[in-house]
Structure 1
Amino acid sequence: MVLDKLTNANRYTCMHPLFAQAFQFLQETDLMKLPVGQKAIIGKDLFAIISEGSGIPEQDAKLEVHRKYLDIQYIISGTDHMGWRDLALCSAPNDPYTDERDAAFFPDKPAFWFDVPAGSFTIFYPDDAHAAMVTEENVRKVVLKIAVKPEA
């Protein structure tokens, strides 16, 4: 897992072949003007999901993991409260993985919680169980879904 500001994105472009394009999209796009929903960037290998709204209370948060995609979650406005736990320390999922949604959900609670303010991002890899949008504040964010093994 990574937590940093977008101004430091160049530190991470070497970590995945599509990170340079992902961070370029975040830096060069007027994210406030994008409509809520999904936007293709590089086919199925890199796409954005734009959302806006309030989240859920901490006691309702569910840890999730993905296998096919990793997440860069960038906060456009507001502050997202997120949780994290090492997947290796999670019990069996109470909602098992399916290919269609690329997610499994776990009954465990996060090992720690942290705030992600506007202008900051997280990177969650497949072994990072995470819970996001655990806030009553209105948050506008973009989740970049990046194929772990790009086809291109």
Structure 2
Amino acid sequence: MKNIVLAQTDQKAAEQWVKSKTWSNGLLIDVSPSVNAMEFYKQYNTNKTVWDKVFAFMKNQDLKNLAPGNYPIDDKNAYATITNNPSKTLETAKWESHQKYVDLQYVISGEEKIGVAPVSTATIIKPYNPAKDAANYTADGTYYIATPSQFFLFFPPDAHRPNIKVDGYDTVKKLVIKIKVVN
């Protein structure tokens, strides 16, 4: 029973930490309610220097005018990709997860739907490929509308299904930052 109470206390503390935005260093974008607060707290505090560089990149770059391409943030510890691509239909968007990198996904302009489900409840259809740092699944998840007001974080236990078309938004400009997982 003591472990359950401790876990609940830790969960509440992590949620308060996320809401406090002390991690943001002035970044004005919110975190999606889908984000695992405990895992965010753990990853950030285990690798604070890299996460601070990630949030500084998001705050200090003119993301709306940044050209599609790859951008280094901290060598292999964190790097960014900007895309400006058409959204996918629900049928063509795939569930995925990663083990080496956390996915930070942020819609710069436009809107898209993103599904989130625990890997533990998903069915593997394509096993994990270390070279691509990806596995694919079928899953039942919760869907969110991604807008420029918030970013999403997907940790190794999170299957996610991004890039799904929202009516009225054929093309979406998006930032994906890969942040090395610390175990």
Report if TM-score (shorter chain) is over 0.5.
Answer: yes
Q: Which moved more, 1:11-20 or 1:129-138?
A: 11-20
Equivalent in 6, 29, 32 of residue 64 of structure 2: 32
RMSD: 2.7
Q: Which amino acid letter does the alignment assign opposite residue 145 of structure 1? A: K
Amino acid at match of 1:117: T
Which of 104, 115, 118 is the equivalent residue of 2:135? Answer: 104
Matched, 1:129 2:150: no
- 71, 75, 80: which one aligns with 1:48: 80
Consecutive unaligned residues of structure 1, counting only runs of 5 or more, are: none
| Cα distance between partner residues in 1 of 2:59 and 2:42 | 17
Partner Cα distance (1:20, 1:110) in 2: 33
- Aligned with 1:87 (options 111, 119, 142): 119
- 2:52 aligns with 20
Q: Decide which structure has greater helix share.
A: 2
For residues 106-147 of structure 1, what are the alpha-carbon distances to aligned partners after superposition, in whole Å with 9 as ceiling and x for unaligned? 1x2341111011131001101100011101521111001000
Change (3 A) 1:8 1:32: closer
User: Higher relative contact order at CA 8 Å, sep ≥6: structure 1 or structure 2?
Assistant: 1
Task: Give structure 1 regions of 4+ aligned residues with deviation exceeding 6 angstroms.
Answer: 10-14
How many Å separate the matches in 2 of 1:13 and 1:112? 22
1:60 shift after superposition: 2.2
Structure 1 residue 63 displacement after superposition: 0.6
Equivalenced residues, count: 147
Q: How far apart are residue 9 of structure 1 and its match?
A: 5.7
Distance 1:13 1:32, change over 3 A: farther
Deviation at 1:15, TM superposition (A): 4.4
What SS does the aligned partner of 2:165 have? coil
